[in-house]
Structure 1
Amino acid sequence: MIGDSKERPHQRLDVWRDAMELAALVYAYSAGFPAEERYGLTAQMRRAAVSVPSNIAEGAARRYAPELVRFLLIARGSLSELDTQLALAPRVGLAAPDQDLLQLLDRTFARLNALIRSIDGAAAVRDEPGSYELPMTNHESRAQSHA
């Protein structure tokens, strides 16, 4: 067998799954933008959207909690960029707001923030920058809104 059928650590995270779905929705949403936006807002939105699950995955592959949190914070920054770009697209007449996309963005923010808090809190309790164990999922982080 060529590949390993086990899930990677990031694939067990609900926030990564949401971020992957968000990226796919952003690709579909921006597909209707005019051709002259191919290197403008379309590319910016897609890069920001892809950056979110990519940084979650990269962080999950790290051994130490501070490294994971660093990449989760980068993912949150990309999510904020995407939030701004999704607000801009309707303002400049490129597309109507997409409520499903915005709801998924909010849920991703909430889960990402909850995961950051849980890892930061666990590291603070241990008072050491040692290794950590990723949760199997982060179902318990289903906050209603992002902080």
Structure 2
Amino acid sequence: MAHRFKNLEIWKLSRLFCSSIYELTSTFPDSEKFGLTNQLRRASVSIASNIAEGSSRKSNKDFNRFLEIAVGSMYEIETQLLIASDLGFIHQKELDIFLGKLESIVKMTSKFKVTLSK
């Protein structure tokens, strides 16, 4: 049962979140180009990509597996944002905004996973 990923709210939000990660990391020091900048960007691209790829799978069980991978990338991003904050690349207010957006996407994805299991 294929889903139309472009219609999924979690995909739309994760795509917007990815763009905001790119904007945020553009302010990181050049020395982080191959460090946190690259890691954050790759993980944020992975979220929307895994939702899209999973939606093409024939079974909800397979789709669920890709959603699990997407959630893993979300937690990876959370850790990397906290490290970026520890290093002074992100101010606390900005960190709170990003973590809030990320938490919303995690919750929505978790709820969606429950509906797929039914």
2:38 matched to 1:38? no
Aligned 1:94-133 pairs, distance under 5 A: 94-97=89-92, 98=94, 99-120=96-117, 122=118
Matched residue pairs, number?
114
State the Cα distance separating 1:53 from its structure 2 match.
0.4
2:55 matched to 1:60? yes
Q: Paired residue for 2:21?
A: 26
**Structure 1 unaligned regions, length at least 5:** 1-7, 123-147
2:81 matched to 1:86? yes
Measured in 2, the distance between the counterparts of 1:35 and 1:60 equals 36
Q: Paired residue for 2:7?
A: 12
Measured in 2, the distance between the counterparts of 1:96 and 1:112 equals 27
CA RMSD of aligned residues (A): 1.1
Q: Deviations over 1:67-124 (max 9, x none)?
A: 100100000000110011111111011221313322211110110110111112x1xx
**Structure 2 unaligned regions, length at least 5:** none
Measured in 2, the distance between the counterparts of 1:36 and 1:71 equals 32
- Structure 1 stretches of 4+ moved >4 Å: none
Aligned 1:64-75 pairs, distance under 5 A: 64-75=59-70
Bigger share in helix: 2
Measured in 2, the distance between the counterparts of 1:102 and 1:94 equals 15
Identity in percent: 32
Q: TM-score normalised to the size of structure 2?
A: 0.92
Structure with higher Rg: it is: 1
For residue 103 of structure 2, what is the amino acid of its counterpart? D
